[in-house]
């Protein structure tokens, strides 16, 4: 498996310019202004703690600035007034005043800082700290760290969009997207293997990531999704620095494996061509006009200056030891707005392609709309007749609605009542369900008791029959024997007992019960008069009548 650390290996190889790029450069549809102010490139020499300043007008090093230990990433602010250098070896950022070419501040950040980027207004500098797994945010007015964003790994490359709203940080095999307002990580976008360099288009619509597997991942700046993957060289080549032209039309990426600079057409995501540069190219940057591309070659200790219009190396400038600079390390405003033929042609071609696509789309839409108009006209005529019919139906429906509205009010009241009843019923059901379960649990024991009671009842019925026979015999003897007060009272008690049982069984309306009651009352009358024989006779009649009810 391939691995990548902060320092990159040296490779070699050759490629020739593609026919597509040659054809585009041969066109002369757009004139290029000749008056361009000379930009400056700031090259960090990791091996000797210096920054070489190249004047693009003469392609010579005009001064060497001493900075911190093992300088790495460099970023120039949009105004071209400051260059910020990440010193990998001592955890600081050197601030260079580009007018005096001297270090005016040294800002402590995290450990082993690599990448550095400036936002679109120049008010914030973002530093990727490889050792402390964080992103330092520097206020450029005070040159102090005002925020530190923790990251879930060791970052390398970093870039900010021109609007100053997003910061993109290389982290593992992904790009972390940071909200520049809240300094919070919003999301992580998975890209290719071992990504290193990252660059944002001027509009912020696209983010380009150079991967260690020979590919460039193209991220949509709005959706944070990879929308294309471009092979720049061969699969598994090591890509390092990456830059976007000021117009956003072209993307430049350094291939350390074949030592070439590749040019990608941003509109089509196609490789237009490549050019041989120095050994182990690391950093890539364009000047503010897009006319020149600077490539820092770590192995050969020089910088290749490429003419963007011809895609040819026009100068090779010797610098310090191990120039591994990457980021937006070129700055200096041009004297007049200009762009290379490639940039303007690509931009105009993109606009033309968009316009042609719009025309085709609108033509198709127009034809479709014409068909819809004809169809809708026919439908309109049909619908007019239906409207008249529906108007009558609507009047009828309105009357029905008025009637139904009254019914609805009544029903709503009923619904409320029924809902309350339903709630009560549901509560009852729940209670009964619980009781039912408890009763089901009691059924088996009770069934056993019932079976036992049935046997006992059968036994008692047999005993009762014997007892009834005995009682009948006793009553007969009682009623036929000599009568006195005690006999009469005993007869009364027996008759009253049977009458009570008959009343419980048949009720007071049963004619047999009424007869027994009448006989019993007559017996009581005789008993009160001392006529014991007649009393016993009536009590016996009441007893027999009640017994007939009970049988």
Strand partners, 83: 76, 96
Compute the half-sphere exposure of residue 279: CA atoms within 13 Å on the CB side of its CA.
Answer: 10
Q: What is the CATH number of domain 448-550?
A: 1.20.120
What is the enclosing helix (H) or strand (E) of 138?
Answer: strand 134-139
Domain boundaries of the chain, sorted by first residue: 19-27+37-332, 448-550
pLDDT tens per residue, range 232-290: 989 889 999 999 999 999 999 999 999 999 999 999 999 999 999 999 999 999 999 99
pLDDT tens per residue, range 149-199: 999 999 999 999 999 999 999 999 999 999 999 999 999 999 999 999 999
C-alpha 482/C-alpha 353 separation (Å) is: 140
Instruction: Please give the share of the chain, as a percent, with pLDDT higher than 70.
Output: 75
pLDDT tens per residue, range 17-33: 333 343 333 332 233 33
Asked if residue 255 lies in contact with residue 239, where contact means CB atoms within 8 angstroms, the answer is yes
Looking at residues 469-487, what average pLDDT do you find?
Answer: 65
Note the pLDDT of residue 183: 97
pLDDT at 398 over 80: no
Strand partners, 85: 74, 94
Work out the pLDDT band at 533, boundaries 50, 70, 90.
very high
Looking at residues 394-407, what average pLDDT do you find?
Answer: 64
C-alpha 457/C-alpha 465 separation (Å) is: 12
pLDDT at 108 over 90: yes
Asked if residue 348 lies in contact with residue 340, where contact means CB atoms within 8 angstroms, the answer is no
Compute the half-sphere exposure of residue 398: CA atoms within 13 Å on the CB side of its CA.
Answer: 5
Q: Which residue has the tokens 């027999």?
A: 544
Whose CA is closest to 42, among 25, 29, 56, 31?
Answer: 56
Looking at residues 97-120, what average pLDDT do you find?
Answer: 97
pLDDT tens per residue, range 312-340: 999 999 999 999 988 898 887 433 333 44
Report CA 75 to chain centroid distance, whole Å.
Answer: 35
Note the pLDDT of residue 407: 84
Whose CA is closest to 7, among 170, 216, 235, 238?
Answer: 238
19-27+37-332: CATH topology is Methylamine Dehydrogenase; Chain H (2.130.10)
Comparing 219 with 16, the larger pLDDT belongs to 219
Most confident of 190-204, 335-349, 458-472: 190-204
Comparing 63 with 458, the larger pLDDT belongs to 63
pLDDT at 502 over 70: yes
Comparing 60 with 471, the larger pLDDT belongs to 60
Note the pLDDT of residue 22: 36
C-alpha 281/C-alpha 15 separation (Å) is: 15
Q: Which residue has the tokens 């290193």?
A: 196
Mean residue pLDDT across the chain: 83
Looking at residues 356-373, what average pLDDT do you find?
Answer: 61
């Amino acid at each position: 498996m391939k691995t990548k650390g902060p320092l990159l290996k040296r490779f070699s190889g050759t490629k020739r310019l593609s026919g597509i790029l040659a054809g585009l450069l041969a066109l002369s549809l757009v004139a290029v202004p000749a008056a361009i102010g000379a930009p400056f490139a700031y090259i960090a020499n990791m091996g000797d703690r210096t920054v070489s300043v190249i004047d693009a007008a003469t392609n010579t090093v005009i001064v060497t600035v001493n900075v911190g230990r093992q300088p790495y990433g460099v970023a120039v602010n949009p105004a071209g007034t400051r260059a910020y250098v990440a010193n990998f070896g001592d955890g600081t950022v050197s601030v260079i005043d580009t007018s005096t070419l001297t270090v005016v501040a040294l800002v402590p950040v995290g450990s082993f800082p690599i990448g550095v980027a400036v936002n679109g207004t120049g008010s914030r500098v973002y530093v990727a700290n490889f050792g402390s797994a964080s992103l330092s945010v520097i206020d450029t007015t005070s040159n102090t760290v005002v925020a530190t964003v923790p990251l879930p790994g060791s970052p390398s490359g970093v870039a900010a969009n021109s609007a100053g709203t997003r910061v993109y940080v290389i982290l593992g095999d992904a790009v972390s997207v940071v909200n520049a307002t809240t300094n919070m990580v919003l999301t992580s976008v998975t890209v290719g293997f071992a990504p290193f360099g990252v660059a944002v288009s001027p509009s912020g619509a696209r983010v380009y990531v150079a991967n260690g597997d020979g590919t460039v991942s193209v991220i949509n700046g709005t959706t944070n999704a990879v929308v294309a993957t471009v092979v720049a060289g061969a699969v598994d080549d090591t890509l390092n620095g990456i830059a976007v032209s000021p117009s956003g039309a072209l993307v430049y990426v350094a291939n350390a494996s074949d030592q070439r600079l590749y040019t990608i057409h941003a509109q089509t995501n196609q490789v237009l061509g490549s050019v041989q540069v120095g050994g182990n190219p690391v950093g890539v940057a364009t000047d503010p006009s897009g006319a020149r591309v600077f490539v820092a070659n770590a192995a050969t200790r020089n910088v290749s200056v490429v003419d963007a219009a011809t895609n040819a190396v026009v100068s090779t400038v010797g610098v310090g030891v191990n120039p591994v600079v990457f980021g937006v390390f070129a700055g200096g405003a041009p004297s007049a707005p200009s762009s290379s033929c490639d940039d303007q042609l690509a931009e105009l071609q993109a606009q033309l392609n968009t316009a042609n696509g719009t025309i085709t789309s609108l033509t198709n839409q127009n034809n479709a709309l014409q068909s819809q108009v004809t169809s809708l006209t026919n439908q309109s005529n049909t619908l007019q007749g239906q409207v008249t019919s529906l108007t009558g139906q609507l009047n009828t429906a309105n009357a029905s609605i008025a009637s139904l509205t009254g019914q609805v009010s009544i029903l709503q009241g009923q619904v409320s009542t029924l809902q309350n009843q339903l709630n009560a019923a549901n509560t009852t059901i729940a209670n009964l369900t619980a009781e039912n379960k408890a009763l089901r649990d009691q059924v088996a024991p009770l069934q056993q008791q019932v079976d036992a009671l049935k046997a006992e009842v059968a036994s008692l019925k047999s005993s009762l029959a014997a007892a009834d026979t005995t009682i009948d015999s006793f009553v007969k003897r009682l009623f036929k024997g000599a009568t006195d007060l005690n006999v009469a009272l005993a007869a009364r008690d027996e008759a009253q007992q049977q009458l009570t049982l008959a009343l419980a069984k048949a009720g007071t309306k049963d004619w047999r019960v009424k007869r027994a009651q009448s006989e019993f009352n007559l017996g009581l009358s005789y008993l009160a008069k001392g006529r014991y024989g007649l009393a016993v006779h009536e009590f016996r009649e009441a007893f027999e009548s009640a017994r007939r009810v009970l049988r």
